[in-house]
Structure 1
């Protein structure tokens, strides 16, 4: 067994994109059963988030609003760099301290435990846009965005999901620990800590802290994650494979590096989820992984060779121009623009706060 240097990048030149089953997205007649508990909870979450915005504008301290955005970014890293790229796709390897950090941030995101998140995501990739896809985009924007969480799973999801190997997840003690103690961890990391920090360190009221740092932040990060399932399967170009619906999302700057979705579904094992590197385009999730590679906590990062990309394009896509974006100016443009777009919710709150405070 070859031991790789901690910051090694491995070029994958043999693999090909996984074959998608040749099944119709509507092959099995099915009437969805509503899960009213989920519908009520999701409605209450969004109502609480709107109330949280009101508190953010009229009552909360400026420091609290900045803190909301910081923990939103950190929780997004737990989902994107952790549950998605590390555990779902095994696109790189991480040492124990980094896995613990990512699991912590993932709990803060409150999107089910790592095992369940990865199970649904692997099924999504293996059976994308069929009835076995948990958030099948062929069923419309609302369903792929949030509706799939409000109804019982299609029988095909359960039947075909049994064919997806998840043994590697349960072999990881971090995943096992998070799954076993998910509820107490959730109460502590998702709810208590984000509420307590503003109260202890800058005397924010517990009420204000909870509705801004927990409810509003949670609703915001959920909807940004859901855009990958919905918008990134509907709007944007398909320069890598025009035989699939995943797109290079027009809203990619909101997605913290997850918007290069046509590329990702074509080459799901690439740790960057993009042909271009962290500093060529706005890709904070890749930058996060690269930082930890510098200190040796992330390693064996997989990338796809340029030759493989070109072969795939010639075989399965009508070639589209892909801009070769390199250089300091474009990197600055991407990151300044990306940060500005991602911070739009924060800036809107600040503008209203300036006008009404």
Structure 2
């Protein structure tokens, strides 16, 4: 399988956007002095609240569920996470590899199953996150605390800087992709179909009860998936080592990497955002990388970008916290 080596000359912004680096704010405003009144996003509070109420009820139903139902719920969890990690994140946000039409269609549907905005909006927020890390233009600015960066940013209306800077991003690649355009146009019906209807109907084939299927494979599976993704923004920006770049909040968090397909190797990702593997540990706690490699073997993914060992070594020596060890690859 052929990969293309990259360098880190563009720093943590590589592959995120193609904008003028002069636009990047050098300092984040002190959020403790931010006297703006909170603008609560009540529709998000209601939506997230209902999801968690359904998930709690699903927990009580677990003992009565059939084994096939639990396996199906885990399968849906894995597919949805793949839509976010291998799809929205590594393919569309960072262009770390290219995918042929059948794979892009699958990843778009899988992303709808994750119930996290449409692809265009997800990638716009994520490109903002990389370009304006930990400033007011970062949608989940970690300087505003653990709760905010985990879920609070969804419960409040976006800071004006997020909207203003987001409009300046080059999103032409997303607009040119028909899969992205169609998913955005039909996002709500596709999300309801992929997130709730299909996960609920399939277990009925082996005579599972409707309530078990709906609350376990729909709500409980979804809530676990949401918190797994949110953990990348919170846990992996709060606790862990920084072997590649000690100047950013992103850390190496193996536990997050295990639960969310390799996204917890986050300090590496912020140092080399166009590396499709998001890690130098191969398939270790990196299901998204394994998926992309298998798709490349099948001919559905190609032009996989990878940071060379020499570049990684030099970056760790120059900006890391000295926790990097030779021979990690």
Common fold: TM-score over 0.5: yes
Q: C-alpha deviations, 1:188-239, integer Å up to 9, x for none?
A: 211111111001x201122211101000000000000000000000000000
Q: Of residues 291, 298, 301 in structure 1, which corresponds to 2:301?
A: 298
Aligned to 1:247: 251
Runs of 4+ in 1 over 4 A off after TM superposition: none
Kept in 2, the 8 Å contact 1:32–1:154? The answer is no
Q: CA deviation at 1:325?
A: 4.5
With normalisation by structure 1, the TM-score equals 0.85
Q: Of residues 55, 63, 88 in structure 2, which corresponds to 1:49?
A: 55
Q: CA deviation at 1:310?
A: 2.2
Question: 2:155 matched to 1:154?
Answer: no
Q: CA deviation at 1:31?
A: 3.1
Find the residue that maps to 1:218 and give its secondary structure: helix
Aligned to 1:334: none
Q: C-alpha deviations, 1:97-149, integer Å up to 9, x for none?
A: 10011111111111111111101000000001111100011111110000000
Aligned to 1:258: 263
Q: Of residues 9, 14, 21 in structure 2, which corresponds to 1:15?
A: 9
Question: 2:241 matched to 1:237?
Answer: yes
Q: Of residues 55, 59, 70 in structure 1, which corresponds to 2:75?
A: 70
Question: 2:36 matched to 1:36?
Answer: no
* Aligned counterparts, 1:203-222, within 5 A: 203-222=207-226
Find the residue that maps to 1:236 and give its secondary structure: coil
User: In structure 1, what is the Cα distance between the partners aligned to 2:167 and 2:67?
Assistant: 48
Q: C-alpha deviations, 1:5-52, integer Å up to 9, x for none?
A: xx4200013633136631224378333211122212212211110101
User: In structure 1, what is the Cα distance between the partners aligned to 2:197 and 2:28?
Assistant: 45
Question: 2:318 matched to 1:324?
Answer: no
With normalisation by structure 2, the TM-score equals 0.92
With 27-36 and 109-118 compared, the bigger mean Cα shift is at 27-36
Q: CA deviation at 1:322?
A: 2.5
User: In structure 2, what is the Cα distance between the partners aligned to 1:174 and 1:223?
Assistant: 26
User: In structure 1, what is the Cα distance between the partners aligned to 2:8 and 2:199?
Assistant: 45
Aligned to 1:270: 275
Aligned to 1:346: none
Kept in 2, the 8 Å contact 1:16–1:267? The answer is no
Find the residue that maps to 1:272 and give its secondary structure: coil
Question: 2:321 matched to 1:315?
Answer: no
Kept in 1, the 8 Å contact 2:27–2:135? The answer is yes
Find the residue that maps to 1:186 and give its secondary structure: helix
- Give the total of aligned pairs: 316
User: In structure 2, what is the Cα distance between the partners aligned to 1:318 and 1:226?
Assistant: 25
User: In structure 2, what is the Cα distance between the partners aligned to 1:130 and 1:296?
Assistant: 40
User: In structure 1, what is the Cα distance between the partners aligned to 2:171 and 2:233?
Assistant: 21
Q: CA deviation at 1:67?
A: 0.8
Kept in 2, the 8 Å contact 1:80–1:285? The answer is yes
With 227-236 and 307-316 compared, the bigger mean Cα shift is at 307-316
- Structure 2 gaps of 5+ residues are 14-20
Find the residue that maps to 1:212 and give its secondary structure: helix
Aligned to 1:137: 142
Aligned to 2:195: 190
Aligned to 1:344: none
User: In structure 2, what is the Cα distance between the partners aligned to 1:305 and 1:325?
Assistant: 13
